[in-house]
Structure 1
């Protein structure tokens, strides 16, 4: 069903069908970029617990183990397929408030690539969303840290968004000696009716799938572990 539907998306897409999209196609990108340092400050608090954060494959093993089998891609989820992770958002209240203003935002997390990480070429599971990456911590050597989508390679900049269609083959790498962190967002793809309605329906079905439900349960387990570490540190400071 998804494959048949995806073939119709280029015809109904209101933003075209290209690997990358210009930020000015979306009015909300200005506010997101304007508030990047507010988000960065909340991120810095979370990064104190980098070692305790789950790897991508710990949350999403069905997809993750094909592209990540090490401990070099850490995550901190705020939203997953429309489901709000309440306590994670409470630790980053301004970030949560900012992303909740974005129309069609479905998934949001801090994506942390540690030095030496390479995410091999893959494609996203569904063309009905577009991906936005806001640069928060970017290594000073841009040639050592980049993403390739289709045939085009681009580098992140702190405070700037990068939008692309993750249904195109893509890969990312951080060969620098510093960490790279972006705010990773999946947004409902703007489309003309009736495909816009069908897209929302399919996204709801995906959210109810065993794949996503397992990810939700995995996140709950990791949240308990992280909460213990944070609460223990808080008590030790008293």
Structure 2
């Protein structure tokens, strides 16, 4: 997620998020010094031993996503859950189906995707997990994630046939998804996504705690506690709970 305080928030929340962004940027330099893995834009998947098992589970995970996509109106746009994403999520072009949000398991959604829920539960130090669904001919404009405390993973689930026309840029690197394969990157670098095809693109989107030395791990635990107590996390959790209640009534 990218932290971009929106005008619709109360003033105190906007100021709190703005101050938090400065702290997070400072912490990024600290995290680079104490990281046990490279802080490069793209990260080799061999640094995590859970990757092969997740890739092996991709057919079952994709099948559960395809079942959800039979009723796309039941899946919210990203900014409907996280208002901070309004700059990069427009209309219903970027939909997300959250199963874990900053460590909080979304039981209703996990129950709809038991194979996916089991696969992500087996990933150590997994902090966020959701299906990320990008409609055809949409551009997620350049942005940066708020912290280097996590590593972003994408498991390719549905990739358009014209794979060269759907891509992820992280810093100066252009990356392409493959179905059943994991991409790892540091989303604190500027990144953007383009889908210049007539097909949707879908991935399993994960945030994993960055492996750190002892001091770095301690600092990151404090950082996550602050983030979890902030409107940046609390508001999306409230919005998702409300969305699910209303979806059950539809």
Indicate the TM-score class for this superposition, using the shorter chain for normalisation: over 0.9
Structural RMSD (CA):
1.0
Q: How far apart, in 2, do the equivalents of 1:93 and 1:86 lie?
A: 10
Aligned to 2:65: 43
Aligned to 1:96: 117
1:2 to 19, 24, 32: 24
Aligned to 2:184: 163
For residue 212 of structure 1, report the CA deviation from its aligned partner.
Answer: 1.0
Q: How far apart, in 2, do the equivalents of 1:228 and 1:157 lie?
A: 37
Decide whether the 8 Å contact of 1:53 with 1:226 is kept in 2: no
Decide whether the 8 Å contact of 1:139 with 1:178 is kept in 2: yes
Aligned to 2:5: none
2:130 to 99, 109, 113: 109
Gaps of 5+ in 2: 1-22
Superimposed CA distance per residue, residues 156-215 of structure 1 (whole angstroms, 9 cap, x where no aligned partner) = 000000000000000001111111100000000001111111102211210110121111
Task: Determine if the alignment matches structure 1 residue 145 to structure 2 residue 166.
Answer: yes
For normalisation by structure 2, the TM-score amounts to: 0.89
Q: How far apart, in 1, do the equivalents of 2:245 and 2:194 lie?
A: 30
For residue 52 of structure 1, report the CA deviation from its aligned partner.
Answer: 2.7
Aligned to 1:187: 208
Aligned to 2:149: 128
Superimposed CA distance per residue, residues 72-115 of structure 1 (whole angstroms, 9 cap, x where no aligned partner) = 10111100000010010001011101101101101000000011
For 2:188, what is the secondary structure of its paired residue? Answer: coil
Task: Tell me the number of residue pairs that the alignment of Structure 1 and Structure 2 aligns.
Answer: 228
Q: How far apart, in 1, do the equivalents of 2:173 and 2:158 lie?
A: 22
For residue 116 of structure 1, report the CA deviation from its aligned partner.
Answer: 1.2
For residue 60 of structure 1, report the CA deviation from its aligned partner.
Answer: 0.7
Q: How far apart, in 2, do the equivalents of 1:53 and 1:207 lie?
A: 24
Gaps of 5+ in 1: 230-238
Decide whether the 8 Å contact of 1:33 with 1:161 is kept in 2: yes
2:243 to 222, 225, 228: 222
Q: How far apart, in 1, do the equivalents of 2:80 and 2:127 lie?
A: 20
Q: How far apart, in 1, do the equivalents of 2:83 and 2:69 lie?
A: 23
For 2:202, what is the secondary structure of its paired residue? Answer: strand
Q: How far apart, in 2, do the equivalents of 1:202 and 1:184 lie?
A: 21
Task: Determine if the alignment matches structure 1 residue 60 to structure 2 residue 77.
Answer: no
For normalisation by structure 1, the TM-score amounts to: 0.93
Decide whether the 8 Å contact of 2:166 with 2:196 is kept in 1: yes
Decide whether the 8 Å contact of 2:24 with 2:146 is kept in 1: no
For residue 44 of structure 1, report the CA deviation from its aligned partner.
Answer: 1.1
